Structure 1
Amino acid sequence: MDNIKINRVPLQPVIRPAYTTKQVTTPKQSFLQHLQDATVKTELKVSKHANQRLIDRNIHISEAQWQLINDKVAEARSKGVKDSLVLMDQAALIVSAKNATVITAMDRTEANNQLFTNIDGTIVLN
Structure 2
Amino acid sequence: MTVVAAALVRGDGCILLQQRAPGRAMAGLWEFPGGKVEPGERPEAALARELHEELGIGVGEGDLIAATFASADNAGRHMLLLLYVCRKWQGTPAALDATALSWVLPGEMHDLPMPPADIPLIPILDALLRTAFSAA
TM-score by length of 1: 0.27
Q: When you count strand as a share of all residues, which structure comes out higher?
A: 2
| Bigger Rg over Cα | 1
Instruction: Work out which structure has the larger RCO, using CA pairs closer than 8 Å and 6 or more positions apart in sequence.
Output: 2
TM-score by length of 2: 0.26
